[in-house]
Amino acid sequence: MSLMPSLKLFFRHTMKSLAIAERQILGTRRGSSIFLPTPDATSAWCHRCGASQNRISNSQDYDEHLSCRKCVGVLLARDRTIRLGTYDGQWRDAILAVKHGGDRALARKLGKLLAQQWQHTITTESFICENAIVIPVPMPFARRVERGIDHANEIASGVSKTLGYPLLRCLEHDAGPVQALLTRADRQSRAQRIHWKGIRKRKFRHFATPDLSSIKTVFVVDDVLTTGSTVAQVCAAVRSRLGSVKIVTLVVATV
């Protein structure tokens, strides 16, 4: 008699695991009903840190020396920040639909918009480089299985397809507390949790594995930029392997 409750519990956990695996593999098949607004004009945010308004240019070379009152004089790990909007309204709804709803089609559409936004902001050839790669901000494996989607990777896939640069999942993220549960101070003081794990060759990879010694520009893709601590860890991990490269952060929204 005592065997039955154990069997029921086993089958319940098995079915739950299968459902999670199905979401992880297939994602959401139905089309999204979320209407995406027009991305911000290129003059609406600081292209260095991503902050809204209060932009100042300290040189006629607008592309190279653009900064704002928030980041002027501040040393940032990233060289450029590109965004679509701020984390509210329809952009917030779209991010949540991808992050918790598993909408892969919407994620890749956001990636395409990010790539186009980047193309609109280029004003000099200093950031136009053929030797570039796209890297998504990594997610802990257990969290990826639980949510059924690696949202940053799906957004990065849209960026990669639009720009024509290879997408590499070459970073790993140690498990830790969910970022949304941490205060701003806790996020900024976290120990390094993101590391370079290397590139595994796959038979059906769309792009050939690039020569890492020739990489000049790295596009780091994420959904939301809050304090910048996660991106800073990504930049540190990337530069520990690739050396002095230009890093462009592409995010759907900034807080």
* CA 192 remoteness from chain centre: 17
How confident is the model over 113-126, as pLDDT tens digits? 999 999 988 765 45
Integer CA distances (angstroms), 210 to 147, 150, 152, 196, in order: 30, 23, 21, 16
Q: Which two tokens stand for residue 243?
A: 């050396």
pLDDT surpasses 70 at 224: yes
CB burial class (10 A; 0-12, 13-18, 19+) of residue 20? middle
Amino acid symbol at 241: R
How confident is the model over 40-68, as pLDDT tens digits? 998 899 999 999 876 555 444 444 446 78
How confident is the model over 3-30, as pLDDT tens digits? 677 777 777 767 666 655 555 555 444 4
**Contact (CB, 8 A) for 222 and 136:** yes
Going across the sheet that includes 217-225, the strands are: 80-86, 246-254, 217-225, 132-136
**Type and span of the H or E element at 249:** strand 246-254
| CATH 3.30.450 correct for 71-254 | no
* Whole-structure pTM value: 0.79
Residue 156: half-sphere exposure toward Cβ, Cα within 13 Å: 24
Query: For the chain, what percent of residues have pLDDT higher than 70?
Result: 71
* Domain limits, the chain: 71-254
Q: Find where tokens 């709803």 sit.
A: 101
pLDDT surpasses 90 at 85: yes
**Contact (CB, 8 A) for 236 and 171:** no
| Strand partners for 68 | 55
Give one DSSP letter per residue of 50-108, joined into a string: --BS-EEESSS-TTTSEEETTTTT---S-SEEEEEEESSHHHHHHHHHHHTT--HHHHH
- In this prediction, residue 62 carries a pLDDT of 42
